[in-house]
Amino acid sequence: MSLSFTVVTTPADRAAAELLAVPIGKGAIFGPGAEAVDAALGGGLAAFMGEAGFEGKLGETLAVPTAGRLRAKAAVLVGIGDPAALTVDGLRRAAAAVARRATRAASVATTLVSAGTELDIADAAQAVAEGFVLGSYQYLDYKGDATPTKLRKVSVIAAGGAPVRNAVNRGATIGDAVTWARDMVNTPSKEKSPVEMVVAARRLLRGRGITVQVLDVKQLEAQRLGGVLGVGQGSQQPPRFLKMTYAPPRARGKALAMVGKGVVFDSGGLSLKTAGGMETMKTDMSGGAAVIAAMSTLADLGVKTRVVGYVPLVENMPSGTAIRPGDVLRIRNGKTVEVLNTDAEGRLILADALSLASEDKPAAVIDLATLTGACMVALGDKIAGLMGNDDGWSAQVRSAADRAGEPVWPLPLPKEYRKQLESEVADMKNIGGSYGGALTAGLFLEEFVDGAPWVHLDIAGPARASADDGYLMKGGTGFGVRTLVELARTFEPPER
């Protein structure tokens, strides 16, 4: 259930909520609203924190008894670290910490938006709303003994009028989109076949200003999408291709194209993964989920740019009809690919999607994919790899990711590695050598963008969290949604 947000200017001691959350800086520096809690304790808040060992570290929380001296039934302190060094992402994490602490309170009032004096208040308001939504996230569909959070309402105590209210609403909208993506990633694969993913996407996008086009198998054949058909032919679940178009009135210039990998389950095909390697492969549609979720926000956020989303949806399974190592597929743009490893399937379906996107002559293209374990070897599980063919466009994407709080790091596309993709029988093969797998995968994808400004984000690491961390919960993270939304909101066509 989505949280509801209101912005109020009520003094903290009179805030109508079950729980009042106030910020405390490292070294017991009182943030806004802490004076009310201190007064409720008769001036003993600093001593109480010292006794409890509370230091105000970022994300640290401490419940405080207020003996009924506040309108709120209880109070909680949340650490923000050094207030002068507080970042937007730090504020997002602090809000998430409150949400995780407040699972037994139906309503929370907080002064967190005003905690960072160096932060733009609208940016702070958006971050707080995002943090509450993401921090309260739970996936409990299959938990028989789970205790759902009771938190339903958040009152943000802040001045600033309409800009702050708009920012809070924006943060809530983006947070809800990330929640949808997390839900889809966490859903077992048997419940999200390509057909069921299309149904879920249609349901999400209904009434949101998005035109949805779906290609079935016959249409995939007619459109010559050999990569999608080839990867999908081993499964009893037929593949689909989802195209979503957002075209606001008086849209500026050419479209921004967003492409997302949608492998609903990846067994590796005949190049079968190990049992351990398959355990988290329901997450292999994370890029596609991010694109769908981001598209759902555009109208509500008043995005002025035309945006088109492309999501190929397949299940990669071994069977008597599956593609074999040595088979050759013909991609939409006419290039042929020798498939030497059926577990390098994501690039095959993305090749079709990038070809279609390029044919539409977009201003720029971005794709997101849980593509290679090699990227995780290089960057770990918290940072996405960024590769591209245009320095200006790459810089714009990286800047948007930084503002969104989703870390990316640039990787090269060395032309001298392209020869690793040369095939004896086809235009290219789908795997390179033993090393630099993330880079050769990027070089493979570049063959299908037809010169358009393009960025590839390999999100294999950050698409899934191995443990709770701030506003991330173990499991699907919805990584990429916030970056795509920020990119669409601030999009500037690259100069060519």
Give the residue numbers marked as catalytic: 273, 347
Nearest to 50 by CA among 67, 65, 34, 62: 62
* Residue 260 · residue 369 · CB < 8 Å: yes
* Residue 337 · residue 432 · CB < 8 Å: no
* Residue 168 · residue 126 · CB < 8 Å: yes
Q: Where are the alpha helices (DSSP H) in 81-160?
A: 88-101, 121-135
Cα–Cα distance for residue pair 368/327, rounded to 1 Å = 26
Nearest to 197 by CA among 277, 282, 138, 317: 282
Residues shown for the chain:
496
Cα–Cα distance for residue pair 126/131, rounded to 1 Å = 9
Nearest to 285 by CA among 463, 20, 48, 67: 463
* Residue 309 · residue 244 · CB < 8 Å: yes
Cα–Cα distance for residue pair 408/421, rounded to 1 Å = 26
CA-based angle 414:396:376, to the nearest 5?
50
* Residue 332 · residue 243 · CB < 8 Å: no
CA separation, residue 292 to residues 210, 246, 358, 409 (Å): 10, 11, 19, 24
Phi-psi domain of 471 (left: phi exceeds 0; alpha: psi -120 through 50; beta: other):
alpha
Residue 495 DSSP class: P
* Residue 172 · residue 5 · CB < 8 Å: yes
